[in-house]
Amino acid sequence: MAASDAPADIVLQHEIFDLAFHPSSNLVATANISGDVHMFGYASSGNELKFTSAHHTESCRSCIFSEDGAALYSVSADKSIQATDVRTGRAIGTLASAHSAPINVVTNVTGQGGVLATGDDNGVVKFWDLRQRTCVNEYKDHQDFISDIIYVADKDKVIASSGDGTISIMNWKHKKTESSYQLEDEPLSLAVIKNGKTVVCGTQEGTLGFYKWGKWEDISDRMVGHPKSIDTLVKIDEDTVVTGSGDGLLRLVSIAPHSIKGVVGEHEGFSVERIRMSGDGSLLGSCSHDKRVKFWNTSGLREKAAGAPRAASGAGMAAGASTEEDDADEWEDAEDDDDMAVDDDDDDDGNGFDYTAAARSAGGAFLSDL
């Protein structure tokens, strides 16, 4: 796709760990190694810095907008969760000691009236009710860092992947967990496809592993072809994902039958940290160690996925992996380029958000309604 179809790169002074798209507006936020959070308006005609939030004292590792887009939540190596008013850029809520270890990832548990899930370096996953402003559930099933967390709405469950080589499936309301057996490789990234019947897992060694929902004892299939780690995944449709790898490439990958359809774009040799899809689905955004946010127009991706596989050196299946289209009945559902430069110069659990008087007057009212 032509670079002119998408906004220009956003260039920062420090590495970017994560990015998040606003659910309904052309806004994108970045979580940076400096501890800052930046929010930009983006357009094909140009990008604009809206605000910089410097509320974290150590690296900011992940961020996500609230479901209504009114707040931006960020987590940090300083063990805190911060809530920022999207309209003003002012801090409206702080949980200073959310975890006892640095926090790696945050996500919305959508449709639940303001619930967040967070995962830390020690393998702990916590759920936060923003109405009660407190932790409502905690899981200690993992022995190493949490690399990714996703919410599966039609199952009302949360999946986490960990550096200990396992994934866990959490019934977050009842504190029940289903866990996979330990893999030979570290799972780093997750996506759910095939109408909720397949969990895709990207690993440190560059393999895609596949679980059939409810059959967590072992992966059902695997795919090789990525020369380095698969650090991030984003679902395009029920049969297709885009992967972000340690070699800096974003690849379009078809699942069952498995094939690498082509390269969406690249970060020129720098590891891709995160890929996200915009709220309207028209763009992908990616961030990398090259300190850039790049935008990729999604028009044509699905058509490309439906076409013939692109020949690529090293792109193939692991020995013994299936290459046939899986029948739907076989997937058993076991329910239970002008760049914008920005200067951003600058690691005992708590039980509630601390809202200052200034924060309440600035924008705490909408958080009380979450």
Neighbours of 31 (CB within 10 A): 29
Q: Is the pTM of this model over 0.85?
A: no
Q: CA 223, CA 199: separation in Å to the nearest integer?
A: 13
Enumerate residues 6+ apart whose C-beta is below 8 A from 28. 10, 19, 20, 21, 22, 39, 40, 42, 278, 285, 293
Q: What are the mean pLDDT values of the chain's consecutive 10-residue runs (370 residues total)?
A: 73 96 98 97 96 95 96 97 95 93 95 88 95 90 96 94 94 85 89 96 96 91 96 96 97 94 93 97 96 94 66 34 33 36 43 40 31
213 contacts 334 by C-beta, under 8 angstroms: yes
Rounded to whole angstroms, the Cα distance separating 265 from 306 reads 18
Q: Tokens 């919305």: give the residue.
A: 108
> Is residue 267 within 8 Å of 286, Cβ to Cβ?
yes
Based on its alpha-carbon atoms, the radius of gyration of the chain, rounded to whole angstroms, reads: 20
CA distance 328 to 183: 26
The CA angle 183-189-190, to the nearest 5 degrees, is 90
Q: Is the peptide bond before 187 cis (omega within 30 degrees of 0)?
A: no
What gap in Å lies between CA 347 and CA 210, rounded to an integer? 33
pLDDT at 110: 77
Helices (H) and strands (E) in the chain, counts: 3, 30
How many whole angstroms separate alpha carbon 210 and alpha carbon 195?
14
